[in-house]
Amino acid sequence: MADSRTQKARPRVLIVLAVVAAAAIAIDQFTKFLVVSNLELGEVVPVVGDLIQFRFVKNSGAAFSIGNAYTWIFSILAAAVTVVIIWFARRIRSIAWAWVFGLLLGGTIGNLIDRLFREPGFGVGHVIDFLTIPLLPAIFNGADVCISGAMVLFLILTLRGVGLDGTRGEKPAAAPEPEAAPGAQPGADPLAEPEKS
């Protein structure tokens, strides 16, 4: 019975994962298009006072602009992560985990598109970053938000013990104690020979 339920759930889970990933990619690329089309490089636009600002930058490295000279390595790593997520998706039976991997896949592909197709060239393109808040020293984008959201969901599901199949890990029930022989004292060893009177 459980096997039939998981088999039925699998197509729906994969559809959710694909839709979430596609939506994440679309939103990420659309917001980057708006930024590139409407802002000058380095321009700062307050959105919610100083709480949220748009600051258009091009990032050739990883988070916090680390590793600017190794853009092609980040491109290879992002491509590898994409392949691993797609391969791993067949093991997922939970809608919640489909959201985790959908957001992670969409965010990874969103930034990979920049690295592959933006200037200065294929595989070494600069990622468009534009979001900044005072609590974080980094400038990030929609793809980064998706990846961070996936990590938060990952931690929540892991702490709650939710498996990839959607079930929670429960402690196995204790084995029932064997019944005592007639006339035996409570707590006595059931295998011990009865006392002779």
Q: Which residues have a catalytic role annotated?
A: 129, 144
> Between β-strands 127-132 and 44-48, what pairing exists: parallel, antiparallel or unpaired?
unpaired
36 CA to centre of own chain: 27
Phi, psi of 27 (to 5 degrees): -65, -45
**Which string of DSSP letters, residue by residue, matches 44-68?**
EEEEETTTEEEEEEEE-SSGGGTTG
Q: Where are the alpha helices (H) located in the chain, listed in sequence order?
A: 2-38, 71-88, 95-117, 142-159
How far is residue 111 from each of residues 56, 64, 102, 170, measured CA to CA in Å?
15, 14, 14, 38
User: Cα angle vertex 107, ends 101, 108, to 5°?
Assistant: 85
| SS3 assignment, position 183 | coil
Q: Taken in order 165, 110, 61, 129, is the CA torsion positive or negative?
A: negative
Q: Which two tokens mark 193?
A: 């020979």
